[in-house]
Homo-oligomer: A and B are copies of this chain.
Amino acid sequence: MTNISEAFIAETLMQLVVILASAKIMGLVFEKVGHPKVLGELVTGLIIGPSVLGFVDVHNEIILFIAELGVIVLLFEVGVETKVRELMNSGRSSILVALLGIFVPLLFGMLYILAFTGYGIIVAFFIGATLTATSVGLTISVLSEIKKTKSKEGKIILGAAVIDDVIGLLLLSVLADIVSTGQIIPLNIVKTFLMSAAFLGLLVLAGKVFEKRILSFVNKIRVERTFIVTAFVFALLMSYISLSIGLATIIGAFAAGLILERKEHMKLIHHRVHVLTQLFSPVFFVMAGAVVDVRSLLNIEILPLVIVLTMIAFSGKMISGLGAYRDKVSKTAVGLGMLPRGEVGLIFANFGLISNIVTQEVYSSLIAVIMITTFIAPPLLKRAMK
């Protein structure tokens, strides 16, 4: 390999060693004291990231890609464990939870900004939109640690988070329209929505139709032992398609898992995919912690805005849990599952900053809100699910 310098390989190897080793140690410590491992990984990121120790280079594209692979295999594994039928069963609750989780924080956020600050409608819409985000990866990681991904609550959250991501995409495309043209273009919104819905629906349907053939083909050419390669390629391909049409990679990875969920496949890939999840998903959560600038929290002037927005972010998602009123589940757990904004919130916030929609002050406040929801959700969710 001659097109990459040895120094860069060495540096990246060291970064991986530091990230994985410290995540492992902190994960064990957090588990020991009853907190979710994933929270330990986030805290690890905070500590070894640029805002404290500076051990991690958040601009190393290789590490960032491995982090992305980590969340892809995590959602792929969850997809493999999830039955489409069961997901459909909790579909109505999921839709209601997702819609409440979008519109309550959006509305409350906008109302507060318009009524009590000097900012205009665009800033208000942006702040509200950022408060709607849900980081499904984080919640799934907590549920998976305590072996509750197959619980009724898990199913509702999973479905709602997927819908959330699609709607989040719509909100982002609305924002992009506002930034580039100064107005809202309904046609673009309809287009984005139809494409996303068509992607998920068609993909899972087509997958279900073809999977028997795929399976018999696999049996024919006797590649059971190496079926993991095929499955992995499939997950990456779906992630790629998902990203190409503007959705998050993890939606495609989850869909890929759903398609391969049959018993015969699970036997072949489940334990093997889990190896990948164990190795790479910590990189994702450490990096999610590392990109947060702790110093933004120390600005006393933004404190009032942070407190109010956190209350809206928290109550909005807790109210969304009530959307599962039909089911015998812990509404608190569902709400808490939707709470962490995580990397999705960061994408929103960064878009706002880069597009000059918001000031550095508002940006810092949003980062603080995202951090708080992301860090309080895992321990609360773990407790609520017990």
Binding site for B on A (CB under 8 A): 1-4, 6, 8-10, 12-14, 16-17, 20-21, 24, 28, 58-59, 61-62, 64-65, 67-68, 221, 223, 226, 228-230, 232-233, 236-237, 239-240, 243-244, 249, 272, 275-276, 278-279, 282, 284, 287-288, 291, 343, 346-347, 350
Main secondary structure of the interface of A (DSSP, over half): helix
Q: Are B65 and A9 interface neighbours, CB within 8 A? A: yes
Q: Are A239 and B68 interface neighbours, CB within 8 A? A: no
Q: Are B59 and A62 interface neighbours, CB within 8 A? A: no
Contact of A228 among B3, B64, B275, B291 (CB under 8 A): B275
A-B residue pairs, 9 tightest by C-beta: A4-B64, A13-B240, A272-B275, A2-B350, A10-B243, A62-B65, A275-B275, A20-B233, A17-B237
Q: Are A230 and B4 interface neighbours, CB within 8 A? A: no
| Cα–Cα, bound, A8→B2 (Å) | 21
| Cα–Cα, bound, A77→B233 (Å) | 22
Q: Are B279 and A20 interface neighbours, CB within 8 A? A: no
Q: Are B240 and A20 interface neighbours, CB within 8 A? A: no
Report the minimal beta-carbon distance from A55 to chain B, rounded to whole angstroms: 14
Once A13-B240, A20-B229, A239-B13 are accepted as A-B contacts, the answer to whether A64 and B279 lie under 8 Å apart by CB is no
Q: Are A236 and B4 interface neighbours, CB within 8 A? A: no
Q: Are A20 and B243 interface neighbours, CB within 8 A? A: no
Q: Which of A13, A68, A288 has the most chain B CB within a 10 Å cutoff?
A: A13
